[in-house]
Structure 1
């Protein structure tokens, strides 16, 4: 029997299997440009250059000429910043395009993919009003810190979403995005980051190497390094070191769960530990994730993430057990490490066809059987993308977000009482039609 959180139901690219096949092309349409925060800060500084102030205080026509010269000088000083913006946009567009082409190269071309590609295009077009608004927030909001470096690899970057209210230390969510282990990207978490930041929660969206740039062990290592950065540095951004939560969605939920379990094993003396502790994580939220790769490999093959590709991502059939958290927690060698794990809450839609809802339920059952504090929360009629895309784009009070916020603010009645109603980003008729033609 499924378990439910004791909250009043009322919110929120990535995804495994088919979600991964489509997410790159969807997001490319809405998140195809970028600029760094340092560039924006530099531009703001140019608005009050001393030369301009001197020009404004000078008299007569000579002063007017100096004023014009100063303004021209200021405008000229902005040209490098604009050029950097264009360079950043080109780099991000190239990355997303390369991810999409890489995915298509591995999946091949056939009737199935032609129909899915057409469905994906229509799906993205219907949700475009929301994507454009979220993209504008991502690229131009002063509350977003993009591409913060957390490691030495090219993809070792994370985005920070900061609340407007800076009074006191804020709870923190370290989020690992989905993407079928092939096209995961930190900007996929922009909608979630925005929604949680509106509720006074700092969100760190962690990027990581994708296949074929890396395999599953590289992804888990990158995610772990990103979590370590958050645990050791988030206080400088206003985060509360005593209220850090780990979250993953779809493939990201699997990667985050592997990183958490690996860290627990390392701390229990069975493996290598790094510069963060499981005790620093108050709870783990898994959204629409898969945790037993032995059971999912054939399912993914039928859905289009072919067995040969999936086994290459997972470093061969012999490694499926090693990267299946559900299997690992039941092993006698690591059971003592399970006691170190934080509270685990697994969210899943009952109408999810990309990753079956049983994936979350059986993992929660496995954790409970070895004494861990775990529960599964299943949502009636929700698909793989409803929880992460359609519902938050719909606005109003989102059930998933309210459940997450209820856990984070369990001891803060004032924060819980804050109105969580969000503005609608896409008309309902377009959301319903998008759901019907979705390729996921």
Structure 2
């Protein structure tokens, strides 16, 4: 049964996030055009979004609002696999949202797909601006990661087979937390070396480079600067880092692909095992929204391959050819997805 109290609370939070986005764009003359394009983008993909929202809201496989810390936004969702087993591979997915409108439900499509492939998915929420600045976001995520290592086994997950995925701002926050945890042992109670992989998707790792791009998209540089004031610069012992994998679309107008290239170059220079792959012609949202909706998802294949290679021999591995359940194919006609790509403001 649907809990109307939970539904109303979630809808109120989403409304507040939308208002925060409008407030952030308030000083920009470009925000009206960007907003209209965003509304058209959502309208074209709305049937798929509604299906995913219904799954997130009603599926017994989605455990919502599990508390991981003391603050109001310290909640997470867990996506259970269709046929649970012990020691399942775990993905912690940190969604983006320009550090302003990030929310755990934004990754519901990824949670739906990855869990269908036998992966237990954990999606933490965290404070956004103006509730907090980057250090506050980092602290929330840090506490969430400790919760994962302490508790994921009770849901069938393997705490020794955890892959951390961040998208856009989530990739930046995740990388900041990971580097801080390695360089400052007092920052985190969990050990970064316990992670199998870190996967960054379309991440803005060079903040000063990204500031002007976000400003051109309508997020004023003064608001951007108020949120944070440093880059991701790894200096720590390479052996303490997990395997690092970065993915970026070459047609990304929101975060240039050079951001991921510069970051992987910096990682390699200090001896960290780091890899990068570019998706030709893909935008900022293609890998996590349009591609899964269309049923043609190269990012999913790459994620599964990484988890499969790094999983211990005794762990159940995600093998699409052995699944009892397969994720659906295309959720919308290609015509609608193509139209959404044409108006996509990202």
TM-score (norm 2): 0.94
User: What displacement does 1:439 show?
Assistant: 1.5
User: What displacement does 1:129 show?
Assistant: 1.0
CA distance in 2, matches of 1:111, 1:291: 26
Number of the residue aligned with 1:373: 273
Q: Does 1:354 align with 2:254?
A: yes
Number of the residue aligned with 1:363: 263
Number of the residue aligned with 2:176: 258
Q: Does 1:384 align with 2:284?
A: yes
Aligned pairs (5 A) from 1:11-30: none
Aligned pairs (5 A) from 1:419-430: 422-430=328-336
User: What displacement does 1:290 show?
Assistant: 1.1
User: What displacement does 1:286 show?
Assistant: 0.2
2:305 aligns with one of 401, 406, 413: 406
Deviation string for 1:160-197 (max 9, x for gaps)?
00101112320001111100000000000100001000
Number of the residue aligned with 2:202: 288
Give SS of 1:242's match.
Answer: strand
Number of the residue aligned with 1:313: 227
User: What displacement does 1:90 show?
Assistant: 1.6
User: What displacement does 1:109 show?
Assistant: 6.4
Give SS of 1:339's match.
Answer: helix
Shift of the 126–228 alpha-carbon distance from structure 1 to 2, 3 Å rule, reads same
Q: CA RMSD in A?
A: 1.7
Structure 1 unmatched ranges of 5 or more: 1-39, 41-81, 330-334
Aligned pairs (5 A) from 1:265-284: 265-267=183-185, 272-284=186-198
Number of the residue aligned with 2:215: 301
Structure 2 unmatched ranges of 5 or more: none
CA distance in 1, matches of 2:320, 2:154: 25
User: What displacement does 1:257 show?
Assistant: 0.5
CA distance in 1, matches of 2:215, 2:238: 31
CA distance in 1, matches of 2:84, 2:128: 34
Deviation string for 1:29-68 (max 9, x for gaps)?
xxxxxxxxxxx5xxxxxxxxxxxxxxxxxxxxxxxxxxxx
Deviation string for 1:1-24 (max 9, x for gaps)?
xxxxxxxxxxxxxxxxxxxxxxxx
Alignment check: 8 A CA contact 1:189 1:205 kept: yes
CA distance in 1, matches of 2:14, 2:260: 30
Number of the residue aligned with 1:432: 338
CA distance in 2, matches of 1:105, 1:150: 29
The size of the alignment, in residue pairs, is: 339
Alignment check: 8 A CA contact 1:159 1:205 kept: yes
Q: Does 1:155 align with 2:77?
A: no
Give SS of 1:409's match.
Answer: helix
CA distance in 2, matches of 1:336, 1:109: 39
Alignment check: 8 A CA contact 1:409 1:416 kept: no
Give SS of 1:158's match.
Answer: strand
TM-score (norm 1): 0.74
Structure with the greater alpha carbon radius of gyration: 1
2:54 aligns with one of 136, 143, 147: 136
CA distance in 2, matches of 1:232, 1:242: 11
Q: Does 1:194 align with 2:108?
A: no
Alignment check: 8 A CA contact 2:104 2:123 kept: yes
User: What displacement does 1:110 show?
Assistant: 6.0
